[in-house]
Amino acid sequence: MRESIDAIELHFDPSSLMALNVILGLIMFGIALSLRVDDFRYVLKHPRAPLVGLVAQFGLLPAATWGLTRLLDLPPSIALGMILVASCPGGNISNFIAHLSRANTALSVSVTALSTTAAMIFTPLNVAFWGSRSADTRAILTDFSLQPLDMLLNVLILLGLPLALGMLLRHFAPGLALKAERPFKILSIVLFALLIIVAFRSNMSAFIAVIGIIFVPVALHNALAWIVGYTAGRTAGLPLEDTRALAIEVAIQNSGLGLVLIFAFFDGLGGMAVIAGWWGIWHIIAGLFMAALWSRTPATRPAD
């Protein structure tokens, strides 16, 4: 069964991959349009919260994920897919979930921007480092001759360029950026959801074959991410509003970036791709559930 999972080939034609790249660019551009100076003022005055978030995002979660893959004794491609997802920055709907959850939305937006920027370095390094800790996943990295520098340049183009363009537009044409902000976010999320649906429909037989194997690991992995983010915030003594924001940032991962990297560097290796694709669905379900739970209880940050 382990060999059959790793041998799964998904059908994702070049035009679909190009569309995924464009959609990811739109998502990053939309995030940049929402960035305001005011969003960073709280971060500058209270740097501990975003620093804790970055440590949890790129330090604790990848390490805990590697431990979980060892504990569950997963097929190599499934394990490496989980490591890659854990190495990605916060997802595009994290700010929306933070707003619904009565979390510190400004902090959420700021950490999304910071983690997206930091991902240009830490995503490739984490994939290479934690993927090399075990012989089975290291073999996949070797088979595909993964070079962290190549992935770094790819992530720089995928994330850095649209982020820079969006922030420039926000700075030089704030009125236009304000009008475009909401449509861009809605459009990018809708297009990404449609692309995921199309991808799953095209690979339904492969998905059905592995859903029984990936469902529990993804659910446990996502639960672990919520625990890591929340525990990091509480351990650091952050207000509940900030702690919720950090938990959301760590638990809502940019699975779109994960899919792009999987198809760009691992030829769409089945086990990795289904993990990233199913995570993209599951973290929305879990995020909305937590938002419904937390929205019943206010968490107000003390006045500055």
Rounded CA gap, 299 and 175, in Å?
Answer: 32
Read off the pTM: 0.81
Rounded CA gap, 145 and 141, in Å?
Answer: 6
pLDDT band at 52 (very low <50, low <70, confident <90, very high): very high
Evaluate if residue 209 carries a pLDDT over 80: no
CATH number of 4-8+10-294: 1.20.1530.20
Q: Say what the pLDDT of residue 229 is.
A: 97
Helix (H, G, I), strand (E, B) or coil at 89: coil
CB–CB of 30/184 below 8 Å? yes
Please tell me the number of Cα atoms within 13 Å of 273 on its side-chain side: 26
Rounded CA gap, 249 and 118, in Å?
Answer: 14
Q: Say what the pLDDT of residue 178 is.
A: 80
Helix (H, G, I), strand (E, B) or coil at 121: helix
For 191-201, what is the mean pLDDT?
69
Please report, rounded to a whole number, the percentage of residues in the chain having pLDDT higher than 90. 31
What are the tens digits of pLDDT across the range 215-250? 999 999 999 999 999 999 999 999 999 999 999 999
What are the tens digits of pLDDT across the range 135-189? 999 998 887 776 667 777 777 777 777 777 887 888 788 888 888 877 877 777 7
What are the tens digits of pLDDT across the range 69-111? 999 988 898 999 999 999 998 876 787 788 788 888 778 877 8
Copy the structure tokens of residue 45: 């005055």
